[in-house]
Copies of this chain bind each other. A is one copy, B any other.
Amino acid sequence: MKVNGVKIDDTYAEAFPVYVARVLITGTTTALAETAATVATGFATSVIGCSAEAGIDRYVMPSETPDGRPGVIIMVVHPSKKQIKSNLIERIGECVLTAATTAVFNALESEETVPVKLHFFGDGYEYQTTVGGRDVWAIPILEGEFICEETYGVQKGVAGGNFFIYGDSQGSALLAAQAAIGAIKSVDGTITPFPGGIVASGSKVGCPTYSTFMKASTHHRLAPTLKDKVPDSFVPDGVKSIYEIVICGLSEEVIAEAMKRGILAAAHAQGIIEISAGNYGGELGPFKFNLHEILSDYADPK
């Protein structure tokens, strides 16, 4: 299959279940909410070495928020529900409560919830009130008052949605990856937790050479500089650079939609030779996203 002249590999992305929480951070301006959101979702690319996977889901207009101010919804993802709770406490407590002009609200309706009791910071000076129909705490702080909800919805979601962009140069692959990330931003309920949404160093499970202490290592079969040095390289002729896009989201549907929009955007950039995806033969998780199915409506005529 080809899309806009770019070969689409006949493969699938394999993904696995996680818990997901969503937090609305409002601020006096969008930029102020965004500053808090960026810091609160930092150092959260992969649960291999970070406390969670997190990122900005979407921007919210003032008319849609409980306090009539602009906002940013962040998503926090982890296989363990307990870790969701501790991440919310620490990431909101350290990075949003401290940020200028912000307030926080739950942004995920769900039967399952976790408590995030920030009001103790008020040392008894805090009080309960309502904002936009929500029960909140108002905590007196230096800048004024910090408004927060304390019950956050948690639900099962999907992590590890992915695709690979094969370029004829690093510049080609990178610009296509940036275009893909821009397109994925339009899909509510998804995040791309890596820096700028892009993974430069996709990994394989395990590390044969240093197996005693490394759980993952470079996906050497996809490393272009090793194409002629390893017997089983996957790198097609002419491919000089590859980027991976990794997507987490609320459901299989939004992951599939994000993959579709991202791949289409990448396929309309210059110098892209092929789009593929990563899987582990079903060992990683139960979700499969078949590229040819996702893109069936967009295949070039033969």
Contacts and interface: CB of A to CB of B under 8 A. Distances in A.
Contacts of A170: 28, 101, 143-144, 171-172, 175, 270-271
A216 B123 CA distance: 9
A199 B97 CA distance: 9
Given A98-B195, A125-B220, 5 more contacts: A43-B43, A61-B261, A68-B267, A121-B201, A168-B169
Interface of A: 4, 28-32, 35-36, 38-46, 48-51, 61-63, 67-70, 89-91, 93-102, 120-125, 139-146, 164, 167-179, 182-183, 186, 194-196, 198-203, 207-210, 213-214, 216-220, 222-226, 229-230, 240-244, 261, 264-265, 267-271
Contacts of A241: 142-144
A31 B178 contact: yes
A252 to B, nearest CB: 20
Contact of A62 (B93, B168, B268): B268
Total copies of the chain: 4
A232 to B, nearest CB: 13
A127 to B, nearest CB: 10
B195 A99 contact: yes
* A50, A95, A173, A200: most-surrounded residue (chain B CB, <10 A): A200
A162 to B, nearest CB: 12
19 contacts: A29-B182, A38-B38, A49-B90, A50-B94, A99-B200, A100-B174, A100-B177, A102-B200, A120-B210, A120-B214, A121-B214, A123-B208, A123-B220, A141-B223, A144-B240, A144-B241, A170-B270, A171-B173, A171-B269
